[in-house]
Amino acid sequence: MALLRAFAGKYGRDFTEDRLAEVRALLDAADQLGEGAETPQVTTVQGYRAWAEAYDQPGNRLIDLEQPVVREILDGLPPRALEAACGTGRHAEYLASLGHTVIGVDNSPEMLAIATAKVPGARFCEGDLHHLPLSGQHVDLVVCSLALTHIPGLAPVLAEFARVLRPSGHLVISDSRNDWPVVKALPGGGFGYFPHRNHRTSDYLAAALPLGLQPRRCEEPVLPSPAIDPDATPPTAPVTHPSDIWSLWRWCPAATNAAYHDTPIAIIWHFQLTRC
């Protein structure tokens, strides 16, 4: 990505030659990096079972950028709320602190257990985004955070959100703009990945507008620049974890900062249901 940006004229010859030298150095060090590994795809239920205990730990920069924007939108919205794909209940906890009546739905029992302990005043239940365990026109607000990236098609899920919303209800969505797979150590040993899909901006609109969901706000946060310390040094310990995009950043900080400069890593929507 950094070399393509250089090719497009954003960086000069010295930058390009430095990046090519990094590529050569990595190739020359191949024998130090291990033989590689086959990493199977797992379901979101399996993946979040592995991630549940660590999900709320600080350091997730995507959440750090997403959460303040979502909470600003949630302030002042109606009081009966559903957090769909609630995970550990990040936004459910905030909504409850505002005095809202909160329902949380997720397909991961492990994540739900953490949410239930975190937000004792909310009601949590297991369910799928395609078939929410709620009657029609049940809530005034649906919030769905960093979950639709796991869904192949947006239309059926947004239709389900519209079904449970009352007239003039609000839908707040945040989603990742990366399509890099998340790699996690599995409880039974080994590693697995659950893929991310980078839905286009037009995909959200194509799914929302026919349902009467009208956009009220759209934000696309970017990482602060530089994304990482320009003087970061590569890890020296042996590589024991299958590489994902996040673990590779420190191997090439200048390339990382060039690749992510001014590039959105999330998209945040506020829709309102205008049909009766």
Q: What is the pLDDT of residues 77-110, one digit of tens each?
A: 999 999 999 999 999 999 999 999 999 999 999 9
pTM above 0.85, yes or no: yes
Residues 249 and 203 in one domain: no
Dist CA 158 CA 111 (whole Å): 22
What digits encode the pLDDT tens for the residues 156-196?
999 999 999 999 999 999 999 877 788 888 888 888 888 78
Which alpha helices (DSSP H) does 12-106 contain, by range?
13-28, 44-51, 61-74, 90-97
Q: How far is CA 171 from the centre of its chain?
A: 17
What digits encode the pLDDT tens for the residues 219-268?
999 999 999 999 888 777 666 777 677 777 888 899 999 999 999 999 99
Residues 207 and 237 in one domain: no
Task: Name the residue range of residue 19's domain.
Answer: 1-32+230-260
Q: Which of 55, 47, 18, 25 is nearest to 190 (CA)?
A: 47
Residues 150 and 19 in one domain: no
Residues 160 and 211 in one domain: yes
Edge to edge, the sheet with strand 213-219 lists: 123-126, 101-106, 80-84, 139-145, 165-176, 266-273, 213-219
pLDDT for the residue 258 = 94
> Omega into 68 within 30° of 0, i.e. cis?
no
pLDDT > 90 in the chain, percent: 73
Dist CA 205 CA 211 (whole Å): 10
Residues 126 and 149 in one domain: yes
pLDDT > 70 in the chain, percent: 97
- Residue 44: what residue type? T
Give kind and range of the element (H or E) at residue 115: helix 109-118
What is the number of domains present in the chain? 2
CB 92 within 8 A of CB 114: no
- Residue 172: what residue type? V
Dist CA 34 CA 106 (whole Å): 37
Residues 20 and 48 in one domain: no
Q: Which of 40, 60, 86, 30 is nearest to 188 (CA)?
A: 40
Cβ atoms within 10 Å, residue 27: 9
pLDDT for the residue 239 = 63
Residues 202 and 237 in one domain: no
